Structure 1
Amino acid sequence: MARDLQVKETSTDPPLWTADFLLFLTARTISLLGDAMLPVAITAAVIRAGYGTSGVGYALAALVAPFAALIIFGGVLSDRFGARRLMVVSDTVRLCFQAVLALLFLLGTPQLWQILVLLALVGAGSAIFQPGVASITPRVARDVQKANGTLRISESVTAVIGPSLAGLLLVVSSPATVVALDALTYGVSGVCLLLLRSVPMGPAGRSGGSSFRADLVEGWREFRARTWLWSVIVVFMLWQLAGAGPTMTLGNSTLVTDYGASTFGLVMSSLGAGSVLGGIVAIRLRPRYPLRAGALSMILWSLMPLGVALGLPAPLIAGCYGVSGVGMAFWIVMFHTSVQTHIPQDVLGRVHAYDAAGSLVMKPVGQAVAGPLAVVAGTVPLLCVSASMAFVACALLLAIPAVRGLKRVER
């Protein structure tokens, strides 16, 4: 039977900015910086190796596909063996495999299959790492919402800085050097995680020796038992398919072809700045019903595809992306905080893995079908449909009593 988390507040709880939270924030920031640099470094390395745009597509798919396929199993492993232990193992594995990849590029031109296999192993390592983020956050921070807001700011900053840093490094060095430096970020992250003191290496509060399959089923049972959680994921699958996925493909392509690469960079920077502001807002505002407030903030996302569809001047499109970033960052903090404060610690990794997999599974489908559909229906109509999906998603979320009625839990 699904369990409800009992939360008690005590005056002896540590403040947000403890040594362990700073170590965790550093580990997460450095890891995210590496994640943001890697696609740029791999793109440059694969093209220089002579495999062209098709090779780049295969390489990026090899990096992402194992993550989507294995994250649920990563959640089970995280709960069985301990989130901190699995994150350190993940950082070590990714450091080793990416270092080998850098060495292959440095020594000559590796075979495409070698690149794909090593990137797939790096992606599998990320699937082991990610569930632990949700499990550790509520254990190193007294105020989970502020912690998530701070982590969201970090994620937004690295999303902007990472590609730019990789690009600058490519100007003064080779792709192999950038891949190697990127690999070192996993080493720094692993060291920071090793230094944590308030989070044990082993699993949290497990009793008995259940099988892997039983743990997998228990995670699904806990996920399914919470109507507010699976309802959000179902709505987000629809939004990713018809909203976010097509917008990433068509919006980005339109910006590059019609406005130029420099404008695209400006717009992406504005999106990152908006996400930082959204994280700050999420730290400050503490709505009684977080998912209700988060759903309303999603309406702001509609400005992203709408600005491109209307053919607005570049500064206005940048402004639209910035406001969209505010709305989405606020939603992400509200949702992650709700998950981390309402789910029992000993199943949190598995439940988070199910919600992450469900949230992401339809996005690549939306990205893939957007191009062919645009040929038939046109880019502008599809972007308008994507914009309307923000309102549809908001309406659906608010129509579900379990979602709009979920109260904030102080933890």
Structure 2
Amino acid sequence: MDVTSPAVPAAFPRSRNFALFFTGRAVAKLGDAMLPLALSAGLIQRGHGPGAIGAALASLTVFLAGFVVFGGVFCDRFNTRVLMIGSDLVRVGTQALMSVLFLTGNVVLWQVCAIGAVNGICAGLFQPGVASTIPRVAADVQGANGLIRTAESLAMLLGPALAGALVGGFSPGVVFAAHAATYALSALCLALLRLPAPAGRAAERSSYRADLVEGWREFRARTWMWSVILIWMVYVVTVSGPLVPLTASEIIPDDGPGVYGLVNSALGGGTALGGLLALRFRPVRQLRAGSLALAACCLFPAAVGLGLPPAAMMTAAFVWGVGGGVWSVMWATSVQTQVPGEILNRIHAYEVAGSLAMMPVGQALAGPAAHLLGGRTVLVAGGVIMVGVSTALLSVPAIRDLRAVTAPAPASSRGGPRESPDRVRGADA
């Protein structure tokens, strides 16, 4: 069991637990931010194109999406922190192996994809615990999300630039070695946590199947949540999925990995600003504000697709980051405060699975779409679709009218009568 101490988490600026969790997330994100550039540059150096990059990225995403639902059940039934630490330690080994492959030049695409699949399984076991851990280490959930998002964004700012320097000066293998080290530090920070007992944990356990069914029922009962996920599926197929393979294949051959790193760093800087804005901006209707912010994200894919100069692409990436940063804080806070803690891991798992389910499709289709239509055409179309995504979110009453709550949702008794979650939280379903 997790170590029990205070029943109420300390306010995040003074909390040792929050400082440890914050450090672990920031360091791990720094490694994750280095990965796409190292993987893209390493495969391009060996003659591969956007199809191979998309396949390598999709191998991680498809297993993450496939295993995250089971990870949510495991987190609700077992020790969340131990599962997260174990996932980090396995990824220390996989990224060390990836480093050896690239340092020795013995890079085979199927091996890269297999390692990505293992990483995806680990991420699927790790990710559900993030949502339930934040309310246990911070009293101000939106403030905590804003700080974590800002730190992660600063890591995104530094990560690509650092990866570009390491790839240019040494080898992609050095980046993978550094990535392994970030997972080791993340595991150490999690091991040092002393968490309060999870609220609403039932004494008697039902079956795995019953837990999965209950999680799905609770997810389906929240119109605002499943509506966002359905719209997000369109977004990941048409915009997010093809973005990394196509921007890498457009920018790196023409401008080099250094410029690609700077563009991604600008995106990270914008996301950091978005997180900081979300610290101060406390809208009554969080998802409405986040949906409006997403409209600005249309500029980045359009700028790359139009072949604009690096400075213009960096500016567009920065604006994308601001909009995405605001949205991510508003969304994460809504999920963590609107959902009772006893089912939060499972609902978050369904949310992550739904968000990522179509990502491998978008990544895998990047190469064929670029071959058929041209990579730049696909990117410009993605910019137009991004405006449609923002409009679609705002068109759903359950999303735009969901009212913010100031604390995590109270636990409800298992098996007892429930009101409609949408009605309880004031959304128009």
TM-score above 0.5:
yes
The match for 2:364 is: 368
The match for 2:393 is: 397
Tell whether 2:290 aligns with 1:294. Answer: yes
The match for 1:182 is: 179
Q: Distance in 2 between matches of 1:106 and 1:269?
A: 25
Sort the Cα spacing of 1:358 and 1:255 in 2 relative to 1 into closer, same or farther, 3 A. same
Tell whether 2:236 aligns with 1:240. Answer: yes
Q: Distance in 1 between matches of 2:52 and 2:104?
A: 19
How far did 1:42 drift? 5.6
Q: Distance in 2 between matches of 1:372 and 1:53?
A: 9
How far did 1:351 drift? 1.0
Q: 2:154 aligns with which of 140, 154, 157?
A: 157
Deviations along 1:88-147, one digit per CA (max 9) or x if unpaired, are 121222234444555677799587766654443233112111111111011111111111
How far did 1:259 drift? 5.0
Tell whether 2:38 aligns with 1:27. Answer: no
Q: Distance in 2 between matches of 1:191 and 1:258?
A: 41
How far did 1:77 drift? 0.9
Q: 2:66 aligns with which of 56, 66, 69?
A: 69
Sort the Cα spacing of 1:309 and 1:22 in 2 relative to 1 into closer, same or farther, 3 A. same
How far did 1:295 drift? 0.7
Q: Distance in 2 between matches of 1:104 and 1:246?
A: 26
Matches within 5 A, 1:229-268: 229-257=225-253, 260-268=256-264
Matches within 5 A, 1:197-236: 197-200=194-197, 205-236=201-232
More off after superposition, 85-94 vs 248-257: 248-257
Tell whether 2:406 aligns with 1:410. Answer: yes
Q: Distance in 1 between matches of 2:213 and 2:386?
A: 32
How far did 1:318 drift? 1.9
More off after superposition, 245-254 vs 22-31: 245-254
Q: Distance in 2 between matches of 1:205 and 1:244?
A: 36
The match for 1:331 is: 327
Q: Distance in 2 between matches of 1:262 and 1:176?
A: 17
Q: 1:91 aligns with which of 51, 63, 88?
A: 88
Q: Which amino acid aligns with 2:310?
A: A
Residues matched between the structures, number: 401
Q: Distance in 2 between matches of 1:383 and 1:110?
A: 29
Q: Which runs of 5+ in 1 are unaligned?
A: 1-9
Q: Distance in 2 between matches of 1:220 and 1:265?
A: 40
Q: Distance in 2 between matches of 1:188 and 1:203?
A: 28
Q: Distance in 1 between matches of 2:149 and 2:115?
A: 29
Sort the Cα spacing of 1:210 and 1:11 in 2 relative to 1 into closer, same or farther, 3 A. closer
Q: Which amino acid aligns with 1:398?
A: L
Deviations along 1:309-350, one digit per CA (max 9) or x if unpaired, are 444443223212211210111011101100000011121111
How far did 1:190 drift? 1.4
How far did 1:401 drift? 1.4
Q: Distance in 1 between matches of 2:366 and 2:99?
A: 34
The match for 1:351 is: 347
Sort the Cα spacing of 1:396 and 1:219 in 2 relative to 1 into closer, same or farther, 3 A. same
CA contact (8 A) 2:161 2:265 kept: no
Q: Distance in 2 between matches of 1:11 and 1:42?
A: 42
Q: CA RMSD in A?
A: 3.3
Sort the Cα spacing of 1:219 and 1:175 in 2 relative to 1 into closer, same or farther, 3 A. same
Aligned-pair identity in percent equals 46
How far did 1:32 drift? 1.6
More off after superposition, 292-301 vs 50-59: 50-59
Q: TM-score with structure 2 length normalisation?
A: 0.82
CA contact (8 A) 1:289 1:404 kept: yes
CA contact (8 A) 1:136 1:199 kept: no
Q: Distance in 2 between matches of 1:387 and 1:187?
A: 37
How far did 1:254 drift? 3.2
Sort the Cα spacing of 1:337 and 1:385 in 2 relative to 1 into closer, same or farther, 3 A. same
The match for 2:135 is: 138
Q: Distance in 2 between matches of 1:45 and 1:204?
A: 47
More off after superposition, 72-81 vs 316-325: 316-325
Q: Distance in 2 between matches of 1:372 and 1:22?
A: 45
More off after superposition, 186-195 vs 371-380: 371-380
How far did 1:58 drift? 5.7
Q: Which runs of 5+ in 2 are unaligned?
A: 1-6, 408-429
Q: Distance in 2 between matches of 1:108 and 1:248?
A: 23
More off after superposition, 78-87 vs 164-173: 164-173
Q: Distance in 2 between matches of 1:287 and 1:126?
A: 31
Q: Distance in 1 between matches of 2:306 and 2:48?
A: 37
The match for 1:3 is: none
Q: Distance in 1 between matches of 2:254 and 2:44?
A: 24
CA contact (8 A) 1:291 1:331 kept: yes
CA contact (8 A) 2:135 2:141 kept: yes
Deviations along 1:17-63, one digit per CA (max 9) or x if unpaired, are 41110000011112222323345556677789999998766654444
Q: 2:316 aligns with which of 320, 329, 333?
A: 320
Q: Which amino acid aligns with 2:86?
A: V
CA contact (8 A) 1:82 1:203 kept: no
Q: TM-score with structure 1 length normalisation?
A: 0.85
Q: Distance in 2 between matches of 1:397 and 1:34?
A: 32
